[in-house]
A and B are shown apart, each in its own frame.
Chain A
Amino acid sequence: NAGVTQTPKFRILKIGQSMTLQCAQDMNHNYMYWYRQDPGMGLKLIYYSVGAGITDKGEVPNGYNVSRSTTEDFPLRLELAAPSQTSVYFCASSYGTHEQFFGPGTRLTVL
């Protein structure tokens, strides 16, 4: 099992550009999550999904969008990138309320 995979690993964007961060899991988990982690800080929940077709906002959803058309994939869309979105983005998945498994992260810089 690959677990949770994320692409790309690194990305530099210019202000105003858009991009999609990809996340996939092969553990048949129903719950998936997107977090951001600013330097030296904890994780903040952006969006989450409890199953295909169902998504909801977390603590810091502004400037982001998600979709979940399959159990395996949970892409995160950044529209009109801003310097405040410079962060490391982690995708995670879990089976219900059990432990969350994290992907390796995407390091995003917006200049």
Chain B
Amino acid sequence: QQPVQSPQAVILREGEDAVINCSSSKALYSVHWYRQKHGEAPVFLMILLKGGEQKGHEKISASFNEKKQQSSLYLTASQLSYSGTYFCGTGNAGNMLTFGGGTRLMVKP
């Protein structure tokens, strides 16, 4: 079953912050976050592993609540380049990811 992302879409002004949430009905081993610009391939942003290990990006951070089976992606001081669709992928021990439906983010000047 695919994870549920919220919100489905968000519009920001440059410099504003955003939070994107990802919830799963299954126990999570890992959560991956990717950004996809229109007509392009998804690009890796962040991975969070059970047990708290995380690695990621400069102005982007994330949290992983194993108990609630949720992850949140935090985008601070948004830039125009942050525009795109953000996908979370929830993983099992074999790294097979199930992707959410995506959150469309638009950053305006």
A interface with B by C-beta (< 8 Å): 31, 35, 41-45, 48, 50, 58-59, 90, 94, 96-105
B interface with A by C-beta (< 8 Å): 2, 30, 32, 34, 40-44, 47, 49, 87, 89, 91, 93-102
- Complex: chain B residue closest to A31, CB-CB: B95
Contact flag A48-B96 (CB < 8 Å), given A90-B41, A90-B42, A101-B44: yes
Q: What residues of A have a CB within 8 angstroms of the CB of B42 in the complex? A: 43, 90, 102
- Complex: chain B residue closest to A99, CB-CB: B44
Contact flag A58-B96 (CB < 8 Å), given A97-B30, A102-B41: yes
Complexed CA–CA distance, A31 and B93 (Å): 13
- Complex: chain B residue closest to A105, CB-CB: B41
The answer to whether B87 and A98 touch across the interface, beta carbons within 8 angstroms, is no
The B interface, classified by DSSP as helix, strand, loop or mixed, is strand
Q: What residues of A have a CB within 8 angstroms of the CB of B89 in the complex? A: 43
24 intermolecular pairs with C-beta atoms under 8 Å apart: A31-B95, A42-B99, A42-B100, A43-B42, A43-B97, A43-B99, A45-B97, A45-B98, A48-B96, A50-B94, A58-B96, A59-B98, A90-B42, A94-B95, A97-B94, A97-B95, A100-B32, A100-B34, A100-B44, A100-B97, A101-B44, A102-B41, A103-B41, A104-B41
The answer to whether A42 and B41 touch across the interface, beta carbons within 8 angstroms, is no
The answer to whether A99 and B99 touch across the interface, beta carbons within 8 angstroms, is no
Complexed CA–CA distance, A97 and B41 (Å): 19
The answer to whether A99 and B32 touch across the interface, beta carbons within 8 angstroms, is yes
Complexed CA–CA distance, A90 and B102 (Å): 16
The answer to whether B41 and A43 touch across the interface, beta carbons within 8 angstroms, is no
Closest 3 CB pairs of A and B: A102-B41, A99-B44, A42-B99
Contact flag A42-B2 (CB < 8 Å), given A102-B43, A104-B41: yes
